[in-house]
Amino acid sequence: MISFFRNKKTALTNIIPNGFVDIHAHLLPGIDDGAKSMEETMALIKTMRSYGIKKFIATPHVMEGVWENTPAIIQQKLTATNNCLKEEGLYDVTIGAAAEYMLDAHFEQLLKEKQLLTLKDNIVLVELSYQSAPLNLYDLLFKIQVAGYKPLLAHPERYSFFHNNYKEYQKLKAVGCLFQLNLLSLSNYYGRYVQQIAIKLLKDAMFDFVGTDTHHLRHLDFLKKITDKKTLKLVTPLLQKNSFFS
């Protein structure tokens, strides 16, 4: 691994470890704002496979009034995707499915009914609106844990309302919220402020896991642009930690 970092041209896509699982990707076709067709799904998976990513957990959005996906809908798309992988001869690729849940009123109902799709065991991927955090955020996080789940907050570095209040990140961690880094945030894809916060959170060992949050091929192009040696050294342990989801 050290030899990689001596090479100035080394990119994130060159250091994906064996066993890495991408736990946040919008790969299922026609189900949210990710892949629009099975052809696009296959193109995304084949490109990621060329990076060394062969294990995936698809996480379609579940959002009231926008993406009202159910476990049945998600399972149907997953079955079709797995069938297509076999037809394409991609036998070394494995894909499962969970969901990325918006913390809204609909989520509370799903939580009561215990109809949540988890990444593994009791870990559930959740997200916030980019405009503001829900007023009852901490109450929701408490309810999630009381119900027996462990909340994993998707891309906390992207919530700009936390950027000038770094202690809020520490507070979230203190109440038992796990953090998932979007690998794209290590580039300037979302802007330099997101990149700066991502690196600070990374340096402070605040992240628990990583994901690509892939929606389209442009996202994958930007992964190849993450070449900073110090950043690659910081993220390497997290890449290895994702094998937990194998």
59, 125 Cβ separation under 8 angstroms: yes
pLDDT at 9: 78
Is the pLDDT assigned to residue 5 strictly greater than 80? no
- The residue written with tokens 């989520």 in the block is 107
User: Residue 5: left (phi > 0), alpha (psi -120 to 50), or beta?
Assistant: alpha
59, 99 Cβ separation under 8 angstroms: yes
Query: Rounded to 5 degrees, what are φ and ψ at 56?
Result: -135, 150
Spatial CB neighbours of 202, under 8 Å, sequence gap ≥ 6: 181, 186, 231, 234, 235, 238
What does DSSP say about strands 123-127 and 55-58: parallel, antiparallel, or unpaired? unpaired
Sign of CA dihedral 38, 44, 45, 47: positive
Mean pLDDT, residues 179-207: 97
Three-state SS for the chain is CHHHHHCCCCCHHHCCCCCCEEEEECCCCCCCCCCCCHHHHHHHHHHHHHCCCCEEEECCEEECCCECCCHHHHHHHHHHHHHHHHHCCCCCCEEEECCEEECCHHHHHHHHHCCCCCCECCEEEEECCCCCCCCCHHHHHHHHHHCCCEEEEECHHHCHHHCCCCHHHHHHHHCCCEEEEEHHHHCCCCCHHHHHHHHHHHHCCCCCEEECCECCHHHHHHHCCCCCHHHHHHHHHHHHHHHHHC
19-69: pLDDT as tens digits: 999 999 999 999 999 999 999 999 999 999 999 999 999 999 999 999 999
Is the pLDDT assigned to residue 2 strictly greater than 70? no
* Arithmetic mean of pLDDT over the chain: 95
Q: What is the largest CA-CA distance in the chain?
A: 52
Is the pLDDT assigned to residue 8 strictly greater than 90? no
115-172: pLDDT as tens digits: 899 999 999 999 999 999 999 999 999 999 999 999 999 999 999 999 999 999 999 9
- The residue written with tokens 């079709």 in the block is 80
12-22: pLDDT as tens digits: 999 999 999 99
Domain coverage including residue 118:
2-245
What is the value of pTM for the model shown? 0.94
Number of domains in the chain: 1
pLDDT at 6: 52
Q: pLDDT > 70: what percent of the chain?
A: 97
CATH number at residue 160: 3.20.20.140
